Structure 1
């Protein structure tokens, strides 16, 4: 590949990754609005899981419908394919989301957001041992540290001090387990999608994971009521953002190194904070946002920069 094509390819990857992280960032204020519109109490874990289950199940259905419109055969699956996709759905959607929400019940949003940022570290470290062409190097390590500092800074001055309180396994521990599940699932997604259509895999895993979340939510005694035009529109938007983001992200993981793509996840809390300020009218616009964004971008640049190959 010549330098011009290589440069164009890198720009396209960056743009797609930013779109995905922007969409996931928009989920932060959307979830808060959803709890309000559907009257889900902060302690109603079952209701939260049902809300999440509906969102991801619909997202999966949207992706599969689009595949049918594009004349893709989504029913050509072997028993092995079904098994692998189900495992991915349980890991990436069901378990990851359960641990995340249970963890958030026992910690603050600030600490949870920072702990969730460890998924990038897990992905890059695991990729080092799984893939021969995705090894750790100095710029990647420094870039991750710089990017993680951005995640910490964007959460400073929030509802609690970052260093306040002790480590709770049910709180921060569960958030880290969720982050680890997401990282492992990303590697597994890359593996099983090599000989399958990434969009079809995404559609099925979201639908399966969302369905299981919904069932568990009802078992826990939860419910989802107060369906209005506004609340239903928000739910559909959240399903669409998940469908688009997960589908595009799966394509990125399929054709690119996990360690390179994962660093863009540091943008999610930055976008989430900025969009929360805009949508929820939260007064958080100050110098910390600019510093955090600069650090995250610097971290991405350090990780993404490659040495030019020479003959």
Structure 2
């Protein structure tokens, strides 16, 4: 059981490390193309990247036809709606506020797991640990604050809250209903379908160009984002399907995404450097994760 908890922790941290890297690449990509088109191409490529790593692909495709409704539902929730709302919402709010709203996702995951799963009930201790983690995210975000009040902020806040609801629901559904589906199969097929739907939606909404040749940095950022999604989402789906892994506990590891993101900015960007608020926020998040880990080990014992 200790090895199981350790491997789950290591994989969750690795997935969150991958998710902390795309922000610069997203900014580069959006300089050249529209949000929904860019997201659609990204996830379509991610799904295609996974295909060669699926054993007995023809057989898996035949078997998956029996559960096409479930795959379609996951594709819409975890790719089309989730990232469509994400890319749209962040365009209406300042980056710091967006980071805080997205950082609240573990709380939404815990709430939805409480009502949708029988083995993942909230406790006051777990709620305290999650709220502590959210406070840490807020502190880091305030340290990098760029608040400018605009009339579009309420719309952006509503979209990002809906994004949290969609993401949490998708996590619960994968954990509850995908026990018999290999994670690579579910991740690949759902991202191919979800990405294709995003691309189709972008045509009437954004009227994007499909023939323009962009600079090399655009294609490099797109390739990196596609690989990040392919690996991270496959790992996450696999963890959600593991027996004994709770949605609420697993999602608390997403609190380390801003820690990794800030650290990478300090290492890569010349104008970025550590500040007191960010360090305090990281310490608060560390306390939250240690407390959740303590609660998990106590339950196991």
Quickly say closer, same or farther: Cα 1:115–1:248, change in 2 above 3 A. Answer: same
**Aligned with residue 24 of structure 2, among 17, 21, 29:** 29
**Aligned with residue 12 of structure 1, among 7, 12, 16:** 7
Q: Which residue of 2 aligns with 1:83?
A: 69
Whether 2:171 is the aligned partner of 1:186: answer yes
Return the alpha-carbon distance in structure 1 between the equivalents of residues 4 and 26 of structure 2. Answer: 33
Q: Which residue of 2 aligns with 1:237?
A: 224
Aligned with 1:188: secondary structure? helix
Aligned with 1:74: secondary structure? helix
Q: Which residue of 1 aligns with 2:261?
A: 272
Whether 2:110 is the aligned partner of 1:121: answer no
Quickly say closer, same or farther: Cα 1:72–1:284, change in 2 above 3 A. Answer: farther
Quickly say closer, same or farther: Cα 1:114–1:277, change in 2 above 3 A. Answer: same
**Aligned with residue 125 of structure 2, among 128, 139, 143:** 139
Aligned with 2:238: secondary structure? helix
TM-score by length of 1: 0.87
Whether 2:247 is the aligned partner of 1:258: answer yes
Aligned with 1:77: secondary structure? helix
Q: Which residue of 1 aligns with 2:192?
A: 207
Return the alpha-carbon distance in structure 2 between the equivalents of residues 56 and 126 of structure 1. Answer: 25
Aligned with 1:105: secondary structure? coil
Q: State the 1:80 CA deviation.
A: 4.4
Whether 2:107 is the aligned partner of 1:112: answer no
Return the alpha-carbon distance in structure 2 between the equivalents of residues 139 and 259 of structure 1. Answer: 13
TM-score by length of 2: 0.90
Return the alpha-carbon distance in structure 2 between the equivalents of residues 298 and 203 of structure 1. Answer: 35
Aligned with 2:144: secondary structure? coil
Q: State the 1:126 CA deviation.
A: 1.2
Whether 2:45 is the aligned partner of 1:50: answer no
Return the alpha-carbon distance in structure 2 between the equivalents of residues 245 and 112 of structure 1. Answer: 21
Aligned with 2:220: secondary structure? helix
Answer yes or no: is the 8 Å Cα contact 2:134–2:255 preserved in 1: yes
Whether 2:84 is the aligned partner of 1:98: answer yes
Answer yes or no: is the 8 Å Cα contact 1:56–1:210 preserved in 2: yes
Q: Note the residue ranges of structure 2 that are not aligned, 5 or more in a row.
A: none
Q: Which range moves more in the overlay, 269-278 or 177-186? A: 269-278
Quickly say closer, same or farther: Cα 1:285–1:260, change in 2 above 3 A. Answer: same
Return the alpha-carbon distance in structure 2 between the equivalents of residues 50 and 207 of structure 1. Answer: 14
Answer yes or no: is the 8 Å Cα contact 2:80–2:197 preserved in 1: yes
Answer yes or no: is the 8 Å Cα contact 1:217–1:223 preserved in 2: no
Return the alpha-carbon distance in structure 2 between the equivalents of residues 309 and 87 of structure 1. Answer: 33
Answer yes or no: is the 8 Å Cα contact 1:147–1:300 preserved in 2: yes
Answer yes or no: is the 8 Å Cα contact 1:28–1:276 preserved in 2: no
Return the alpha-carbon distance in structure 2 between the equivalents of residues 52 and 280 of structure 1. Answer: 24
Q: State the 1:78 CA deviation.
A: 5.0
